[in-house]
Amino acid sequence: MNIQVGQKAPDFSLFDTERKKVGLSDFRGKNVLILFYPMAFSSTCTRELCEVRDDIARYNNANAQVLGISVDSVFTLKRYKEEQGYNFPLLSDFNKEVSAAYDSLYENWILEMKGVSKRSAFVIDGEGVVQYAELVETKDAVPDFEAINNCLSGLN
């Protein structure tokens, strides 16, 4: 499924680093920035998520909840979150279902790894409609945060 702007976002429920279920529908009435990323502790993923961490006030001011999603286990994500001081939930898509639903799953990635989340970004409005969708295909690139922030500004 190719996620398009204007469509209803696929709902999901995943475990966070505290082993609590978090679902997209938990945030109705609020904007949501979903960031899929390949792997915890990798350099580009860390740079991307640290950029969001350091700019979290912008997202809070835009009535936006940030959710980071990867196929890492909740145990790996807990350590990653603690070490990096991330101030938003990291969710484990260990079974790869949500990444697949958002067309954000590599069949084959580096070092013959299969089923790793593609770096991508989605802004979902308070009604659950996709307002921004970006798949990042370049290995060391991160989402276009300027475009994401412009989208969020336009929603408020």
Which residues belong to the active site?
45
Task: Quote the tokens at residue 25.
Answer: 């529908």
Give the integer Cα–Cα distance in Å for 136 and 113: 18
The CA dihedral of 1, 65, 33, 84, to the nearest 10 degrees, is -110
How many other C-beta atoms lie within 10 A of the C-beta of residue 53? 17
Give the integer Cα–Cα distance in Å for 66 and 77: 15
